[in-house]
């Protein structure tokens, strides 16, 4: 596993606005506090989300980009990129792999954080098909696409983007996390990030308690003291 001082740049690749905030915003806040450059890449605009059941979701994509931008700011992230794929219809295609590999080569991260590509049979929420597709495409973009100059040669020829090897991938939402981050000192910032997604969470009664209970249970699983909160990841060495 990489030591803290070996991590200078982190790229998160998630399917929808708010995914990174549920899965990793506490860890992101701590990265930012240590001077790590963090970039968010969001594959869809979450245009199938929301609570207003009018079936006219025009404006939702734009709103969710604004909400994600505010959420990022709550944990100190200002570099956001959106791919604009349609919410609910993401597949792990060569186009998606190329689009993710492009951003990996632009950002040159040491660590990529993304969704676990396997279905979670203990807890259904992390296994949205878009999450699994994005997790799978991101792992494929990390290995082999981003590091192989002959994969998507147009990225070198037309855009001057040299190959890049990501050293670790941290997966969220899987059944077998092997690394826990104590986020107790930044739980309020994680909550602020989540609450920035007003269209998604404002109507949820007891949302703060729900979040705290969930991440306290992770801390318990991690063996942290009572009253602590944790985020869990499966770390995959990819160097
Ligand atoms: Zn999602």
Residues β-bridged to residue 236: 169
Backbone CA torsion sign across 63, 32, 201, 91: positive
Whether the model pTM is above 0.85? yes
Asked if 136 contacts 173 with a C-beta cutoff of 8 angstroms, the reply is no
**C-alpha 116 – ligand 1 centre gap (Å):** 12
**C-alpha 125 – ligand 1 centre gap (Å):** 8
pLDDT digits (tens, 9 = 90+) for 140-181: 999 999 999 999 999 999 999 999 999 999 999 999 999 999
**C-alpha 158 – ligand 1 centre gap (Å):** 32
Tokens of 95: 């186009």
pLDDT digits (tens, 9 = 90+) for 76-101: 999 999 999 999 999 999 999 999 99
**C-alpha 19 – ligand 1 centre gap (Å):** 5
Q: What is the number of residues in the chain?
A: 239
Asked if 35 contacts 138 with a C-beta cutoff of 8 angstroms, the reply is no
**Dihedral of the CA atoms 78, 104, 191, 51 (nearest 10)?**
100
Q: How far is 116 from 135, CA to CA, in rounded Å?
A: 5
Q: How far is 155 from 101, CA to CA, in rounded Å?
A: 9
Tokens of 86: 């349609």
pLDDT digits (tens, 9 = 90+) for 196-233: 999 999 889 999 999 999 999 999 999 999 999 999 99
Q: How far is 116 from 187, CA to CA, in rounded Å?
A: 23
Sorted by sequence, the CB contacts under 8 Å of residue 147 that are 6+ apart come out as 163, 164, 165, 166
Helix pair angle (187-195, 60-74), 10° resolution: 160
Residues near ion ligand 1 (CB < 5 Å) are 15-16, 19
């Amino acid at each position: 596993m990489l030591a803290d001082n070996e991590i200078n740049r982190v790229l998160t690749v998630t399917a929808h606005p708010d995914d990174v905030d549920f899965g990793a915003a506490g860890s992101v806040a701590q990265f930012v506090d240590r001077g790590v450059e963090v970039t968010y890449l969001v594959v869809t605009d979450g245009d199938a989300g929301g609570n207003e059941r009018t079936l006219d979701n025009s404006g939702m994509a734009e709103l969710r980009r604004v909400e994600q931008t505010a959420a990022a700011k709550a944990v100190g992230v200002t570099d956001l990129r959106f791919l604009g794929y349609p919410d609910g219809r993401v597949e792990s295609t060569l186009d998606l792999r190329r689009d993710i590999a492009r951003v990996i080569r632009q950002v040159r991260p040491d660590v990529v954080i993304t969704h676990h590509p396997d279905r979670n049979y203990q807890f259904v929420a992390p296994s949205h098909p878009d999450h699994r597709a994005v997790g799978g495409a991101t792992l494929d973009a990390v290995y082999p696409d981003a590091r192989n100059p002959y994969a998507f040669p147009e990225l070198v020829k037309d855009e001057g983007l040299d190959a890049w090897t990501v050293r670790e991938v941290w997966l969220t939402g899987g059944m077998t996390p092997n690394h826990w981050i104590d986020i107790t000192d930044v739980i309020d910032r994680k909550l602020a990030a989540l609450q920035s997604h007003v269209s998604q969470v404002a109507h949820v009664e007891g949302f703060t308690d729900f979040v705290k209970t969930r991440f306290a249970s992770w801390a318990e699983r991690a063996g942290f003291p009572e009253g602590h909160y944790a985020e869990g990841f499966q770390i995959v060495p990819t160097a």
